[in-house]
Structure 1
Amino acid sequence: MNIKIAPFTLSCLLLLSCDNSAPAHSGQAPEKVETDIMFEASLWPARPKAAIDAELEATISTLLNSMTLAQKVGQIIQPEIRHVSPDDSRDYFLGSVLNGGGSFPQQNKHASLQDWLTLADGFYQGSMQVKAPTKIPAMWGTDAVHGHNNVIGATLFPHNIALGAAHNPKLIEAIGAATAREMAATGISWSFAPTIAVARDDRWGRTYESYSEDPALVKQYAGAMVTGLQGLKGSDNFLGHGKVIATAKHFIGDGGTHKGIDRGDTNISEAELIDVHAQGYFAALDANVQVVMASFSSWNGDKLHGHHYLLTEILKNKLNFDGFVVGDWAGHAFIPGCSDTHCPEAINAGVDMFMAPDANWRELFTNTLDDVKAERISQARLDDAVRRILRVKLRAGLFDKGAPSSYPLAGDTTMIGHQEHRAIARQAVRESVVLLKNANQLLPLKTNQNILVAGNGADNIGKQTGGWTISWQGTGNANADFPGATSIYQAIASTVTPAGGTVELSEDGKYTTKPDVAIVVFGEDPYAEMQGDLGDLGFRSEADLTLLQSLQAEGIPVVALFITGRPLATNAYLNASDAFAVVWQPGTEALGISDVLFSNDDGSLRFPFTGKLSFSWPKHADQVAQNANTENYDPQFPLYFGLTNGEVDTTPYPLEVAPGDLASSASNQQAIFQQRTFSPWTLRVIDNNTRTDLNGASLETTHIKLKTVDRFVQEDAIAAQWLGAAELLFESHDAVDLSRFNNGRLVFDLQWQDPAPITLGLRCASGCSTVELNNYTQNGSQDWQEVSIPLACLSPSLKKITAPFSLSADGKAKLTLYNLRFEAGDSPCEKK
């Protein structure tokens, strides 16, 4: 079937109902763009329809016929737990809720298992107390993308890119099953996983959520993970006890966005969309995945949330998907003509459930109710969406299971971080480590040696677990936030010490006794979507390279363990190492690394290196889209490369290093907060002499409230409200040398909401002073303004800085901050 669209807007022409007289939601009528789009539905495989369960469909029909219009609309609204209460689930007939990354019961990062379960019970009980004859149980969705990663103490598995390197579908199924059991313990029944994107430009900040650049591997894994989470299709335990609803995301083409820009545009043919980006969905559908999440991205300029052809004509009609389509984090608001509180176009295109994470979700409920009454959304389309949601809830047994606290695994504290789950994660770690270099067969190491463990990733569980870990970006986490976990240093020490060897931990590589071998652990700091997007694939850390080179210059054999969420140009670091292994973001079970790093006491192998790259590894930073079987393919290490024990490496060292691959010591900027807090800083407040870190999306103490808010993209700015005397600051555990910015400037964007006297300063070893922020800003303006303050006014020397930014107030004040950084230059003090 070929469909040609012109000249109307695609979304309007393909709607089941479209009222051109309705007021535009953005304040003006959407522009009608001339398009010439050819769709070829015949290119897609025709999946057979599932056998109709007549009893199930009759039950759904009975429920639908007994529901009020408001109940039906409530089923398609999904608020976020920061902005919804159990009473709301009763009053608005809500079908579901979600918690985003960094969101917890009572917004307490260290919420207990019982706290999670109590809140899950609350939403369920609210849905059972509606003032209507028909009671529809609410369900809770969460991003359990590498384990139940919002919950303190959970088993955290390696991210998907690492699992791709393991090449073990059965292991993927076991990981899904373990994750489902830990979720069941908290009473949460719906996982927003697996991500089955095929990342093609590794600048994308979600590359680590992709199993591979190879669609065949993604297809193999997609079905395995869905089966692990939901249970085997057709079995007695499908969506039974200890199983959860899975979500295939993000439909479709999110991994192919131009320049790897998150939420960007995938400009490819329909044939390539099918051959590369649809393969994982075919497998997920075959495994009977119950939910598909629409992508934020566009395909050839058209937003997926409003794409009737792909969501309805293809996914639902051609591929016969009979579950429901959920939106992604207010993704409907990005459809032309829509807003976050009004978007009939999304529902008409095929989205069945709005993900409405902001506080204004009630307005979306009211507007959607009005849209149905005004027939901007047809009753038939609403009923279809609700039928699909009810079908999934009935299949999952939610009408029969009762309150989440009554589930068989509910409240079982042994499930969170269960030893069996940790063993699965440890296996995943050791099978995913990829050995890129092993000069003179240095690895595996003997355990009876004197070993130095260095680098900022050595004893840093937050770094080794990456993004989507407790907080959304994975930032702000300390080792204490991971009870039962093992850092890479701890794994090495627990392996070496019992065998008679010694281990010295020194982040900067300074040692008391010259070691027999040095293991240096370094790499990317945590990040997640949007904030992890890069301009190129260079890994640039002058400190890490200097550390490797200095150890090597002393004649100490050097093993580099590289933490990363994507392939990066690392030739200089490979040259400065005798052995180089990519450990990805291994999660909580670092013993899997020591399993392959060391031999047994008798010299025999503990476990061999078996990991193989599931992404091609670049030679240089500008090789941003190196995919096998494509034009100009010239990687440093090809897809599926990985040395095994004893293998002779033919790579010609030293490798070429281009000038653009390395960091410049003359860098004229130092980021403090740019969409996320940069290492080594932690955003915290001091209130009544007590330090409290911002570890999630919000923080409230006696005299100050902080929360991440949206300026340009999701949670890229910080809103601060003072109620009394308190200090906001970015602080490091150790002093940092920023002397290259002596006479430079502190620069940031600011928006006043409630101007009041605020003191700005630094914290340093000695000689720091303060200025009055108000003297450098336009106090009467509530527009965004750039603030630039000479650093010479704050300190004569930036040699030892523990906090590069601090704001203090004694009374009420309110402002929002964006893009804090130091900039080099020659700026004499102009104190005001």
Structure 2
Amino acid sequence: DQGDFAGSEQEMIRTHLSGYPQAIDAGVLSIMASFSSWNGVKHSGNETILTDVLRGPLGFDGFVVSDWNAQGQLPGCSNESCALAFNAGIDMFMAPDSWKPLFASTLAQVKSGEIPMARLDEAVRRILRVKVKTGLFNDSRPVEGHLNELGSPAHRALAREAVRKSLVLLKNEGSVLPIRSGARVLVAGHADDIGQASGGWTLTWQGTGNSNADFPNGQSIWGGIREAVAAGGGQATLSPDGAFTQKPDVAIVVFGETPYAEFQGDVDTLDFLPTEPLETLKRLKAAGIPTVSVFLSGRPMWTNPEINASDAFVAAWLPGTEGGGIADVLVGDAAGKPRNDFTGTLSFSWPKTARGEPLNVGQPGYDPQFAYGYGLTYARTARVGALSEDSGVVGSGSNLDRYFVDGRFVAPWSLMLRDAGGEFRLGAEKSGASPRGGVSARATDGAGQESARALTFSQGGGQAIIAAQAVDLTRQSNGEMAIAFRYRVDARARGPVFLTLGAGSVDISSLINAAPVGEWRTLKVRLSCLRDRGADIAAVDQPWGLRANADFAVTVEDIRLASNEGDAVCPTQ
């Protein structure tokens, strides 16, 4: 995504061609041109690749679709007009929010001759050919409208089998797995969150904002474990924080990456940063309880501390809606014998350090924690022992999307209070004020204990800003991400209130004034809106701020970048 391969055609073939000939020879009928480039030329405008190569030696006869508004990234083009991409070989534009003006401009370009009529006929013919080949026009065997096949028992059974067969057992000391179905089992962490188990590109773009109710036919990991344990006469208890009153025989802790799609998942290192799961594992281990970690992720990550604190560690990837597939393998019968064995092996090497290099088999210095193809089974065991907890990286690096979460400013971000007398940056303090008292902040309760900050602006006003070293949010603004935060008006503003991002600002007074005092609400403002109001999106060192010049009191929490699910706004001034 957005990569630029610098090198000759032969170098690109050696590095990137593998997979394409096999897919085309197998009959694939559509190919998407990505946002990426070759020697600085975007693929979506590169006739050499899209036409000469793809239609020539590779023999592709389906249609090519562009990526999301990719035409707008080409020179001389915009989201609403781009003859260059069409002439280069794009047959279908992916233009979800710009299609009407793009249709009009494309039609005008055909009429003017800028796009040859033969090229338009060619694109239409390719798309119709694919529809014919897939049976869309076959009245005797229609493929549309069979909604009963969505989530059918046969499809769910296949998905559950995929979960079962893809689990990779990295560690199993003392044969803590399989768990006897008649045991007393404590289930902690995010076991009852189907959204987290599904990841991004699901019901929403980034996979965020979903509850289990949004997956009415799905089963969470907790639901699968509870069902399997109950069937064997055991007792399963859900306790997200790992607390218990009656000591369990074993604890299963489910944790991992929160959902993301494409660039929102970019990380500087492979270090798994959240500390709560490790703290839970250590508390359980100190209590003498055998611990089983179920790690949810879209990739291998450096988790040595968590592996050390676990008796068993399972890489479960993203099992989605079929959490029962995990219980099929982890929970045995009443005698503790396996109902299903592990069959999954690592399709990518597991890192020994958070640097994650080198991780490809055959590279000089290849030395992973768990090699490509590694995977234990109940029949094939091995002792892992204590792993090094030196991550190999210094500092926490940049954080593009989480600023103030669970009552903490996520490193490297911090809160700065500014007025006409200067500024005061809060370090470990939970309260403070700007030099002339124009704005003050204190910790207070929100969704959790001290999870929020109460901001009070006085006459003369000031600005509360989250700040750190500059980061580049250009891709996030192209993808229509939004600055989001929860807020509660505690005292109405006696003057205008602005949301700021660097030098950009939007007047949110009307939204603030419309909110009832004392009621929690969420506000999302599109990054592109703040970009158009003066923010330098390529160098953001202050991703969020509130500015008021008169008395005003508001409490805020959960400040982050979030996907625009049709609920982000661009306030008018």
With normalisation by structure 1, the TM-score equals 0.52
Alpha-carbon offset, residue 672 of structure 1: 5.7
Match for residue 712 of structure 1 among 474, 477, 492: 477
Match for residue 450 of structure 1 among 180, 184, 187: 184
1:756, 1:763 → 2: CA distance? 13
1:619, 1:795 → 2: CA distance? 48
Whether 1:783 and 2:534 are equivalent positions in the alignment is yes
Match for residue 365 of structure 1 among 88, 103, 112: 103
Q: Matched residue of 1:520: which SS?
A: strand
1:320, 1:668 → 2: CA distance? 42
Percent of aligned positions that are identical: 44
Match for residue 512 of structure 2 among 759, 765, 769: 759
1:816/1:536 Cα in 2 relative to 1: closer, same or farther (>3 Å)?
farther
Cα contact 1:434–1:610 (8 A) shared by 2: yes
1:439, 1:371 → 2: CA distance? 68
Whether 1:520 and 2:253 are equivalent positions in the alignment is yes
1:794, 1:587 → 2: CA distance? 44
Alpha-carbon offset, residue 276 of structure 1: 4.6
Matches within 5 A, 1:249-260: none
2:254, 2:274 → 1: CA distance? 13
1:652/1:477 Cα in 2 relative to 1: closer, same or farther (>3 Å)?
same
Q: Matched residue of 1:318: which SS?
A: coil
1:423/1:363 Cα in 2 relative to 1: closer, same or farther (>3 Å)?
same
Match for residue 288 of structure 1 among 19, 23, 27: 27
Q: Matched residue of 1:788: which SS?
A: strand
Q: Please name the residue that 2:321 is paired with.
A: 588
CA deviations 1:438-457 (Å, max 9, x no partner) are 112221111111111001x2
Q: Please name the residue that 1:495 is paired with.
A: 228
1:502/1:769 Cα in 2 relative to 1: closer, same or farther (>3 Å)?
closer
Q: Which has the higher strand share?
A: 2
Q: Please name the residue that 1:209 is paired with.
A: none
Match for residue 149 of structure 2 among 409, 415, 418: 415
Q: Please name the residue that 1:564 is paired with.
A: 297
1:759, 1:351 → 2: CA distance? 45
1:371 maps to amino acid: Q
Q: Please name the residue that 1:545 is paired with.
A: 278
Cα contact 1:324–1:385 (8 A) shared by 2: yes
Q: Please name the residue that 1:247 is paired with.
A: none
1:714 maps to amino acid: G
Matches within 5 A, 1:693-712: 712=477
1:510, 1:794 → 2: CA distance? 40
Matches within 5 A, 1:605-754: 605-623=338-356, 626-658=359-391, 660=393, 670-671=403-404, 712-717=477-482, 729=486, 748=501
Q: Please name the residue that 1:486 is paired with.
A: 219
2:360, 2:244 → 1: CA distance? 42
1:769, 1:461 → 2: CA distance? 25
CA deviations 1:470-496 (Å, max 9, x no partner) are 111110000111112111111111011
Matches within 5 A, 1:397-436: 397-401=135-139, 407=142, 410-412=145-147, 414-436=148-170
How many aligned residue pairs are there? Answer: 472
Q: Matched residue of 1:560: which SS?
A: strand
Match for residue 388 of structure 1 among 126, 130, 137: 126
1:439/1:285 Cα in 2 relative to 1: closer, same or farther (>3 Å)?
same
Matches within 5 A, 1:197-236: none
Alpha-carbon offset, residue 273 of structure 1: 3.4
Q: Matched residue of 2:56: which SS?
A: helix
Q: Which moved more, 1:750-759 or 1:465-474?
A: 750-759
1:438, 1:755 → 2: CA distance? 54
Q: Matched residue of 2:294: which SS?
A: strand
2:222, 2:515 → 1: CA distance? 33
Cα contact 1:761–1:769 (8 A) shared by 2: no
Q: Please name the residue that 1:347 is paired with.
A: 86
1:518/1:816 Cα in 2 relative to 1: closer, same or farther (>3 Å)?
farther
2:60 maps to amino acid: F
Q: Please name the residue that 2:469 is paired with.
A: none
1:294, 1:590 → 2: CA distance? 34
Tell me which stretches of 4 or more aligned residues in structure 1 moved more than 6 Å: 661-664, 760-764, 793-796, 801-805
Q: Matched residue of 2:264: which SS?
A: coil
With normalisation by structure 2, the TM-score equals 0.73
1:729 maps to amino acid: R
Alpha-carbon offset, residue 345 of structure 1: 1.5
1:794, 1:651 → 2: CA distance? 57
1:278/1:289 Cα in 2 relative to 1: closer, same or farther (>3 Å)?
same
Q: Matched residue of 2:165: which SS?
A: helix
2:74 maps to amino acid: I
1:499, 1:590 → 2: CA distance? 18
CA deviations 1:748-783 (Å, max 9, x no partner) are 56966666445399999x9x999xxxxxxxx9x943
1:425, 1:505 → 2: CA distance? 24
Q: Matched residue of 2:292: which SS?
A: strand
1:355/1:625 Cα in 2 relative to 1: closer, same or farther (>3 Å)?
farther
Q: Please name the residue that 2:495 is paired with.
A: none
1:794, 1:624 → 2: CA distance? 51
2:120, 2:76 → 1: CA distance? 20
Q: Matched residue of 2:327: which SS?
A: helix
1:628/1:271 Cα in 2 relative to 1: closer, same or farther (>3 Å)?
farther
1:434/1:755 Cα in 2 relative to 1: closer, same or farther (>3 Å)?
closer
CA deviations 1:321-368 (Å, max 9, x no partner) are 11111111111221222211222221222111222222x323222322
Alpha-carbon offset, residue 718 of structure 1: 5.7
2:36, 2:547 → 1: CA distance? 41
2:359 maps to amino acid: Q
1:410 maps to amino acid: G
Cα contact 1:539–1:569 (8 A) shared by 2: yes
2:154, 2:569 → 1: CA distance? 48
1:437 maps to amino acid: K
Q: Please name the residue that 1:741 is paired with.
A: none
Whether 1:300 and 2:39 are equivalent positions in the alignment is yes
Cα contact 2:86–2:115 (8 A) shared by 1: yes
1:711/1:638 Cα in 2 relative to 1: closer, same or farther (>3 Å)?
closer
CA deviations 1:85-119 (Å, max 9, x no partner) are xxxxxxxxxxxxxxxxxxxxxxxxxxxxxxxxxxx
1:506/1:286 Cα in 2 relative to 1: closer, same or farther (>3 Å)?
same
Cα contact 1:459–1:487 (8 A) shared by 2: yes
Q: Please name the residue that 2:116 is paired with.
A: 378
Q: Which has the higher helix share?
A: 1
Alpha-carbon offset, residue 788 of structure 1: 3.4
Structure 2: 5+ residue stretches without partners: 410-445, 448-473, 489-498, 522-529, 537-541, 561-567
Q: Which moved more, 1:595-604 or 1:569-578?
A: 595-604
Cα contact 2:508–2:571 (8 A) shared by 1: no
1:292, 1:569 → 2: CA distance? 34
Matches within 5 A, 1:126-137: none
Alpha-carbon offset, residue 600 of structure 1: 1.9
1:613, 1:751 → 2: CA distance? 46
1:597, 1:650 → 2: CA distance? 18
Cα contact 1:539–1:568 (8 A) shared by 2: yes
1:572/1:763 Cα in 2 relative to 1: closer, same or farther (>3 Å)?
farther
Cα contact 1:761–1:794 (8 A) shared by 2: no
